[in-house]
Structure 1
Amino acid sequence: MNIIFNLFNQILSNIFNFTGDWGISIIFLTILVRIILVPFSIKQKSEMYNQQRISQKIQDIKLKYKNNEKRIKEETVKYEQQLAKSTLGCLVTFIQLPILFTLYNVVMKMPVQVGTIILPWVSSIKLYDTYYIVPIIYGLISICPQLINNLDYFKVLKEVKLSKTNLIITSIFSILITIKAPIALGLYFITTSLFTLFEEIGYRLYIKKFSAASSNC
């Protein structure tokens, strides 16, 4: 962990020497980390997409042979075996935990109490946002991936119907974990969520293009 801490501290300092703003430096550091994690994230998305595709096939088989239990078992056994092989469901989330912990330590051990040009009302990025603007922004951004799931243009499979309850729970949870957190971590969460959103949009557009090309062959 000390190696990661020293590495992040050095990278953050180097970025600050270039930008002159700790808030902007944290955003750039977060983007750098997310770029490094892209291969793992894409692998996770691909597996989740395959899971959804296989689950959809199983549902189609059950509907097609709804009066023939034996045929359903015969047709679905290979798909159920494929579903059981899934191992990457929360991989990126687990990888981010030590990164988040290290970033927290880097921020809290910064020798200065400074704000950032990005949030002009903030006196120090080591404190929480007393106006609660950062938690609210994060709460709104965190529900965006669920919203694009229900936009026809970005649908790649039969998506689960949008749940208002899930949206509310997600937004409230996001606000709660940032409401008393240092603003620096709020910047990390917001940047990560935005990166994830654009990554999801890009991946869905790729899947749609790939599926269209496959159907034309």
Structure 2
Amino acid sequence: MNIIFNFFNNILGSIFNLTGDWGIAIILLTILVRIILFPFSIKQKSEMYNQQRISQKIQDIKTKYKNNEKKVKEETVKYEQELAKSTLGCLVTFIQLPVLFTLYNVVMKMPVQVGTIILPWVSSIKMHDSYYIIPIIYGLVSICPQLITNLDYFKVLKEVKLSKTNLIITSIFSILITIKAPIALGLYFITTSLFTLFEEIGYRFYIKKFNVLSSNS
């Protein structure tokens, strides 16, 4: 962990030397981390998309042969084997945990109380936001990747209808974990969520284009 701490501490310090602002440095560091994790994230999205596609095929088979259980088993066995091959799961989330803990330590060990030009109402990014603006922003931004899956333009499969309860729970949870957290971590969470949003939009554009090309070929 010390190696990771020193690595990110040095990178954060180098970015600060270029920008002169710790808030901007944290945002750029977060973007850098997500760019490094980008191949893993895309691979994870591809597996999730493949799982949804296979699950949809299995459901279609069950509907088509609903009165023939033997035929259903024959037709679905190969798809069920494919589903069992998925290995990535929440890999990207788990990879980010050491980064999150390291960033927290880096921030808390800063020798001075510093603000940032992008949050003029903040006196120190080591403290929580007493105006609760950061938690509210994160609460709203965190649900955006889920919201676009319910927009017809971005749908790539017959996806499960978005649950309002899940949105509310996600938003409340996001607010709770940032309401007393250092503002620096709030910046990390917000930047990560925005990166995830644009990544999701880009991936769905790619899948839609791929599906169109496949259907025309």
What is the TM-score normalised by the length of structure 1? Answer: 0.99
Sequence identity (%): 89
For residues 110-121 of structure 1, the aligned pairs below 5 Å read: 110-121=110-121
- The answer for the alignment partner of 2:18 in structure 1 is 18
* Structure 1 Cα separation of the partners of residues 11 and 192 of structure 2: 18
SS where residue 136 of structure 2 aligns?
helix
In the other structure, the counterpart of 1:95 is 95
Deviation of 1:112 (Å):
1.2
Residue of structure 1 in register with 2:46 after alignment: 46
Counterpart in the other structure of 1:86: 86
Q: What do you get for the CA RMSD once the two structures are aligned?
A: 0.6
- Per-residue deviation, 1:199: 0.3
- Name the aligned partner's letter for residue 95 of structure 1: I
Question: C-alpha separation between the residues in 2 aligned to 1:156 and 1:112?
Answer: 49
1:115 positional shift: 0.7
Q: Residue 37 of structure 2 aligns to a residue in which SS?
A: helix
- Aligned to 1:110, the other structure's residue is in SS state coil
CA distance in 2, matches of 1:141, 1:120: 20
1:201 shift after superposition: 0.3
Deviations 1:19-66 (A, max 9, x none): 111000000000000000000000000000000000000000000001
**Aligned partners of 1:180 and 1:165: how far apart in 2?**
24
Give the Å deviation of 1:166. 0.4
Please give the alpha-carbon distance, in whole angstroms, between the structure 1 residues aligned to 2:119 and 2:52: 40
Uncovered stretches (5+) of structure 1, i.e. residues with no partner: none
Give the match for residue 109 of structure 1: 109
Gaps of 5+ in 2: none
Aligned length: 217
2:178 aligns to what? 178
Alpha-carbon deviation of 1:146? 1.1
Aligned position for 2:157 = 157
- The residue number in structure 2 matching 1:32 is 32
Code of the residue aligned with 1:130 in structure 2: it is S
Displacement after TM superposition at 1:97 (Å): 0.5
